[in-house]
Amino acid sequence: MTPRAILFDLDGTLVDSARSILAGLGRALESEGVSPAVPLSPGLIGPPLPRTLATLAGSSEPVLIERLAAAFRLHYDTTGYRETEVYAGVGDMLSSLARKGLALFIVTNKRIKPTRLIIDHLGWQAHFRGIHALDALEPPAADKTALVCEVLRRESLTSAHTWMVGDSAEDRQAAEGNGLKFLAATWGYGAAAADQQDLASRLATPLELLQRVSAYSAGRTP
């Protein structure tokens, strides 16, 4: 059906935060004298911060994880977020979708504070009708599937008219778990969300999303 709303993941879908996030993670480890248990690579980005830090530290000891998280937040929430890069074509895509009257939303594992800082820094406030993160709920959402479920309820969105765009397997699961049409942003951190057997779910560029929306609006299924 013709989409009336689109839910977007943030990191790896609309923006590339890899450089700034990895720099912050590295500083956090250094501050606690912890050697990374796995390489600092973009593949770490996506899960909630505590899970990422536990993977990097090779430990889930609560006190250590909280210290690492505090060190990361100090860097990222003051200057690090400003190094966020926008994928080519995303800005124009968002502007065009908003002009078409679609309701756009952010649904992210990223903490709500830096998410809002990034959206403000990029001047994207007017594009989105809602910005939602796991830690913005009380209690925090258990995972992205639960977050999307709550967003649909809070924003009075119907699954038949809502699409979701993301770059990870978790994004795909969150969409499918809530009955949404899912499209994989393969320009992001990888094609983890793209089903090899489902080429119709792949987006090669942001422009392709605009083309699909236009096709559905015209009554054509691309």
Active-site residues, by number, are: 9
DSSP 187: T
Strands across the sheet containing 202-203: 130-133, 103-108, 5-8, 162-166, 181-185, 202-203
Residues 6 or more apart in contact with residue 190 via CB below 8 angstroms: 12, 42, 43, 167
Rounded Cα gap, residues 80 and 82, in angstroms: 5
Contact 135, 150 (CB under 8 A): no
Three-state DSSP state, 162: strand
The dihedrals phi and psi of 21, each to the nearest 5 degrees, come to: -65, -45
DSSP bridge partners of 107: 132
What single letter denotes the amino acid at residue 197? Q
Rounded Cα gap, residues 106 and 126, in angstroms: 12
Rounded Cα gap, residues 103 and 100, in angstroms: 9
